[in-house]
Amino acid sequence: MVDLEHDGKSVNHDSVVLVFKEVVCMEVSRKIGQFAYGAFFMLVLPTLWWFWAWRLDQLMPNLWTIPVPDWIGVTLVIAGIAFMLTAMAVLWLRGKGLPMNAYPPSQFVRTGPYALVRHPIYLGFIVAVAGVAIAANSPAGFWVVTPISVLSVLALVLGYEGPRLQAHFGDARNHATTLGLPSSDAPSHHYRCAYRR
């Protein structure tokens, strides 16, 4: 055991090593958690939803047909994934964090795709889900999995993410977006028109 001296105080070498090991272990655990979280939402969950749609297509072969051509599905998949990746990059670079609820960014982002819609990653995901269903000619994917995906995203945003964003960023999250709905406390269009003089 070696005692070190720092600012006139004696510091035990073993306790410094122990603290260092603990910090490294916490950082490694954090990185593993981030990887697992990302892998679940980017690989496992989409695979489960694809399998669910495929199985439903087998069980209900007479489900309604999809009213659009396959090439539109491919276009939607490409557009949805590109929009998601762009939003993730902007959130990472400007928000100084990851696009994950468990590891949120520290800065509020309102540029890039976030200037268009409040939740571009979720919008891109829904567009990609619908696109995969169309491209795969999966009626269950289009008529069952896609609407449930939309409802799941709405539940997540309204029940969990919205309140957390409000608590963390306050009124900053009520920024106006080009394609978004006004915030809940903004005066309605009818109110503004009725009282404009």
Residue 186: pLDDT band (50, 70, 90) is very low
In this predicted structure, the answer to whether residue 191 has a pLDDT above a threshold of 50 is no
Find the DSSP H helices in 60-173.
70-95, 113-116, 120-135, 139-140, 146-156, 162-169
In a domain, 118, yes or no: yes
In this predicted structure, the answer to whether residue 174 has a pLDDT above a threshold of 70 is no
- Which residue range is the domain that position 142 belongs to? 45-194
In a domain, 166, yes or no: yes
In this predicted structure, the answer to whether residue 39 has a pLDDT above a threshold of 90 is no
Q: Number of structural domains, the chain?
A: 1
Distances in Å between the alpha carbon of 51 and those of 44, 54, 57, 138? 11, 5, 10, 11
Residues whose CB is less than 8 angstroms from the CB of residue 81 and which lie 6 or more positions away in sequence, other chains included: 124, 128
In a domain, 22, yes or no: no
**Looking at residue 119, what DSSP letter applies?**
-
Residue 157: pLDDT band (50, 70, 90) is confident
Per the CB < 8 A criterion, the answer to whether 101 and 41 are in contact is no
Distance CA 116, CA 137 (A): 30
Per the CB < 8 A criterion, the answer to whether 126 and 44 are in contact is no
Return the closest-CA partner of residue 80 out of 127, 24, 16.
127
In a domain, 36, yes or no: no
Up-side HSE of residue 42: CA atoms within 13 Å toward CB? 13
In a domain, 27, yes or no: no
In a domain, 189, yes or no: yes
H-run or E-run covering 33: helix 13-39
Can you read off the two tokens belonging to residue 100?
């994950």
Residue 9: pLDDT band (50, 70, 90) is low
In this predicted structure, the answer to whether residue 134 has a pLDDT above a threshold of 70 is yes
In this predicted structure, the answer to whether residue 151 has a pLDDT above a threshold of 60 is yes
In a domain, 16, yes or no: no
Per the CB < 8 A criterion, the answer to whether 84 and 128 are in contact is yes
In a domain, 117, yes or no: yes
Higher pLDDT: 184 or 114? It is 114
Return the closest-CA partner of residue 132 out of 52, 58, 63, 61.
52
In this predicted structure, the answer to whether residue 43 has a pLDDT above a threshold of 90 is no
Which range among 25-34, 42-51, 86-95, 173-182 shows the weakest confidence by mean pLDDT? 173-182
Q: What is the pLDDT of residue 14?
A: 65
